[in-house]
Chain A
């Protein structure tokens, strides 16, 4: 048994593919590549595969991590070549590495996610107005928000999940903002970047068209209070 850790992307082409379907896609990629994958027992055997963190529908990412259990440990260069030949548009293999077994599940150690949100400015809105909105948001000590999910309504304090101030700059097209944020993933949950954006535009007057925002995950990290490491550096 060996455990292979992969870093892959989820690009614009497959932005709207759900996490479950994304996982199914990877499963078929692994089978096409003919890797010596380990399967679960049972009638409908599944690959033993675990992601670091699910990505919401509509969100792209340049750093998704997953662990894959193999029944043998062929050399990584060969695996990379076989996987790359089978990847559909929108998925790139960035890195692959064996990790020690047993090692804690990715899901249990990854606790920080960073995002870039590209969002069109409202007509005639200025960068200065956007900055004012952000600074009033960043200076709050508590921002209550009601999370709605199929499981029910729950009130959270957004500031608990922000690892630092939300920043923004004018995007290359001069008509959009790039909003940057770092979000904590905790055992008791997290907040979605889209939820933060909704609060920014809805309550703090960020002059941007949230409906047309494109959210992009730029990194997933293990943060220990002093520094952050990528799951491949563990």
Chain B
């Protein structure tokens, strides 16, 4: 079957990387769309190479297309060059599979990975010819859904989205598809409200249009209320108790062009209970649930057969924590190395065990290792519950240098709670120590140490959700201070634009009133905010001013512990009391151990959602 490209050869030969837009990839699915079928478009508000690398979307694509009553297609944000051509020629956003206009599908589901992609959601809806405001869309137009980590503070996007899915979607996505199929069969009984009421009953589904937001006299968020019986007061995330029992992306689409993660993505487990207090993923994906090693080996065989990739990347929040990692790597290398398949570990723990592993998988090329001490002093690492010491780092780096590595990347954050200039100086000192270590061990210079510094953005559902983010000026001052302290030629320093982190901070802890700011900023031309070349800070600030919304009130203000927060009706399963305890422990620099190895820290998720830690090393 050949589907006519809506975009002409003249346009495609003008734009960068035209194969982003033409489809036909191996393992992509084309179905004959019958009227009763649900046409589900899976979307990522980012370019093809990023969207195609998202594991969640790969899994959902496979689950949805497995269903006889559903046909899932894909669409991604066209890069600005193609967008201009499409707008010029009046071409609407289309799917990669059948090149049909997205506006003709039943539902479009966006994966929200970070706040700076929100403007792209609006832009894609507009490019599709779909009204932006949920209230203006009719039953004949697609439903718009969002999932991914940002759904856990849905409020800034509620004007535009019909429903959100919280948590792991392997099961609920099927329930959603089945409900829409029935609704279509019934002739869309009771219109859009009819289907949304049904969806609102599903655990993990939030239909914001069924709720009113309330604010107190001071104009602060006071909560939501509803008189729709199906709409729950608290919406709890979905969680898969046994990951071995759900479908994995064993038949992922193999792109023609190189994407960000152009290899087999093997997810060993979900969750991380190390308990870094800044980390949102560590809360959202609790508890830790591992896949069985036999399950994983079966997946790898299927993935190699189905894709032809010869590289496996172990992707989990902290892959080195997998309880059976050594046997897994041994078995992977003995079984698949003869077939020319290599294994890589993207995230490393700071200990020499990890170096042994890295050595095992990277036997020839020493391409560089990344460590994340996160903070420059022990005091501050204790505040954030990063359970590593300087001695751990020194030991790990020494092991790496001795094993032949010379390029080390160190990740830090600035703007953390309780941070002082001493902590900033600590970053420079630690980096210098690493560079000096190389000389001590090797007897010569030649280490390359990259210090990468991001600005801390407090995230909802974390112990730091009450903390007032450092202002743009304060972050820039700290960046300059750090710059002045780093002198050695073997050290290089990079940091993030403080202004993008500020905007991210506003939206990550924002509420419903940000919808109109987003709409205005988009109307005035913002898009691809996460791409520094395209970030337009002034347009954003003008939009805040025009809508009379103070961004600092969301980002910079310290919030009270007993203040209502705009994401408290969306539950990760973790108790607020646990976050409060962790916030207090942070002030004292008190350590909270990892619950998978030590005792339960009583975060509440296991009890609240009736799940258990799955750790095969303990079994």
Q: Which of A12, A25, A29, A212 contacts B10 (CB 8 A)?
A: A212
For residue A14, CB closer than 8 A to chain B, the reply is yes
For residue B215, CB closer than 8 A to chain A, the reply is no
Q: State the Cβ distance, A4 to closest chain B Cβ, in Å.
A: 17
For residue A28, CB closer than 8 A to chain B, the reply is yes
Residues in A99-124 with C-beta less than 8 Å from chain B: none
Q: Mark A11-51, 1 if CB is under 8 A from B, else 0.
A: 01111111001101101111110000001001111000000
**Which of B18-26, B151-159, B268-276 participates in binding chain A?**
B18-26
Residues in B151-197 with C-beta less than 8 Å from chain A: none
Q: Which residue from chain B places its CB closest to the CB of A22 in the assembled complex?
A: B256
Q: Which of B13, B26, B258 contacts A88 (CB 8 A)?
A: B26
Q: Which of B10, B22, B25, B342 contacts A15 (CB 8 A)?
A: B22
**Which of B100-108, B305-313, B391-399 participates in binding chain A?**
B305-313
Q: Which residue from chain A places its CB closest to the CB of B309 in the assembled complex?
A: A28
Assuming A18-B257, A88-B26, is B308 touching A29 (CB within 8 A)? Answer: yes
* Residues of A with C-beta under 8 A to B9: 15, 58, 211-214
Instruction: State in angstroms the CA–CA spacing of A173 and B21 once bound together.
Output: 26
For residue B8, CB closer than 8 A to chain A, the reply is yes
Q: State the Cβ distance, B78 to closest chain A Cβ, in Å.
A: 14
Q: State the Cβ distance, A69 to closest chain B Cβ, in Å.
A: 14
Instruction: State in angstroms the CA–CA spacing of A222 and B192 once bound together.
Output: 65
Q: Which of A21, A30, A211 contacts B256 (CB 8 A)?
A: A21
For residue A57, CB closer than 8 A to chain B, the reply is yes
Instruction: State in angstroms the CA–CA spacing of A15 and B21 once bound together.
Output: 11
Asked whether, in the complex, the Cβ of A32 is within 8 Å of the Cβ of B18, the reply is: no
* Contact-residue bracket for chain B: 20 to 34
Assuming A21-B256, A44-B342, is B22 touching A86 (CB within 8 A)? Answer: no
Q: Mark B26-60, 1 if CB is under 8 A from A, else 0.
A: 10000000000000000000000000000000000
Q: Which residue from chain A places its CB closest to the CB of B22 in the assembled complex?
A: A16
Asked whether, in the complex, the Cβ of B8 is within 8 Å of the Cβ of A212, the reply is: yes
For residue A165, CB closer than 8 A to chain B, the reply is no
For residue B365, CB closer than 8 A to chain A, the reply is yes
Q: Which residue from chain B places its CB closest to the CB of A40 in the assembled complex?
A: B340
Asked whether, in the complex, the Cβ of A27 is within 8 Å of the Cβ of B308, the reply is: yes
For residue A74, CB closer than 8 A to chain B, the reply is no
Instruction: State in angstroms the CA–CA spacing of A211 and B18 once bound together.
Output: 15
Asked whether, in the complex, the Cβ of B308 is within 8 Å of the Cβ of A211, the reply is: no
Q: Which residue from chain B places its CB closest to the CB of A45 in the assembled complex?
A: B340
For residue B606, CB closer than 8 A to chain A, the reply is no
For residue A77, CB closer than 8 A to chain B, the reply is no
Q: Which of A18, A44, A86, A212 contacts B19 (CB 8 A)?
A: A18
Q: A18-B257, A28-B308 are in contact. List 6 more A-B contacts (CB 8 A).
A: A16-B22, A17-B256, A24-B258, A32-B307, A43-B365, A45-B340
**24 sampled A-B residue pairs with Cβ under 8 A:** A13-B2, A14-B22, A14-B256, A15-B9, A16-B12, A16-B19, A16-B21, A17-B19, A17-B257, A18-B19, A18-B257, A31-B309, A31-B339, A32-B306, A45-B310, A45-B340, A58-B9, A58-B12, A88-B24, A88-B25, A88-B254, A89-B2, A89-B24, A90-B24
